[in-house]
Amino acid sequence: MNHCNRVIIIGWDGAGNFVRDAHTPNLDRLFEAGASSLEAQTASPTISAECWGTLLHGVNPAKHGLTNTKAEVEAFPDDSPYPSIFRVVREAFPLAKLAAYSAWKPINDGIIEPSIGIHKMSLPDDELVQAIAAYIHENPDFKLLYVQLDLPDAAGHKYGYNMPEQLRVIEESDRHTGVILEALEQSDLLKDTLIIAVTDHGGGGENAFDHGSDHPLDKTIFWSCTGPGIAPGTKLDNVNIVDTATVIAHALGLDVPASWEGKLPEGLFHSL
């Protein structure tokens, strides 16, 4: 396959696979243009630090050891045997532009390594996407950009998961995603950018207002990948959030660390 020039991860916290019940034209556009699953599985326990940590570090929580509490007070060690995809990309591309825009600050402070030269910003969702659009316009040569929008999870905790109020907020996240996609389009970056749209967990399984269990409502997530080498309209089976970092490394032409547990989802890259 032709390796892409850059990757962007767009994460909607706490959205599970509830997107199927919401009006999400921007996400639908990504699904139609690439590969997707509404039955992907996340890590256990189904909690934000554990799950985003698994996405970024390529191993499950038993290995990366992250928890919400730990991420709020400790920086992730730069020399961990389980490097994040950011560290892998930094080591391969010492001068590359890497950025993380996270509404939930512990991702930037405690999940992504602190000393590898990443542009990090934490703001509320609506301000965050405007800052992301500006970053894309000003840095079209970025290599890896991670985005975490937090409002769907906040709405789930407040109103209940997969309830009408949360679905309205999920639709807001879709509009926010549209701002990012428009910036990519205006900068003529869509053709050689891999876009992964994903959530970390669902909710409402054992508790209508919470998550953390292995109930299917907590464990089942949406996952999509669009860009070079991905056939439009591909439906994926057996995708796990731990696979995400492996997919990114492969797309950028990098060796996957031996310590990682993720795999390439079968049928993802059609030009292999």
* Domains along the chain with CATH numbers: 6-251 (3.40.720.10)
Output the pLDDT for position 192.
96
> Which tokens is 3 given?
């390796």
N-to-C CA span, the chain:
6
1 confidence band (pLDDT: 50, 70, 90)? very low
Output the pLDDT for position 270.
79
Distance CA 242, CA 51 (A): 8
Residue 2 pLDDT exceeds 70: no
Chain segment 48-76, per-residue pLDDT in tens: 999 999 999 999 999 999 999 999 999 99
Chain segment 187-223, per-residue pLDDT in tens: 999 999 999 999 999 999 999 999 999 999 999 999 9
Which residue spans within the chain are E strands per DSSP? Answer: 6-12, 35-41, 97-102, 119-121, 142-149, 193-198, 220-226, 234-235
What are the φ/ψ torsions at residue 143 (nearest 5 degrees)?
Answer: -105, -40
The structure's pTM equals 0.97
Cβ within 8 Å of residue 85, ≥6 positions away: 56, 57, 58, 144, 244, 245, 248, 249
Chain segment 19-42, per-residue pLDDT in tens: 999 999 999 999 999 999 999 999
- Residues 247, 225 contacting (CB under 8 angstroms): yes
Amino acid identity for residue 228 in this structure: P
Residues in the chain: 272
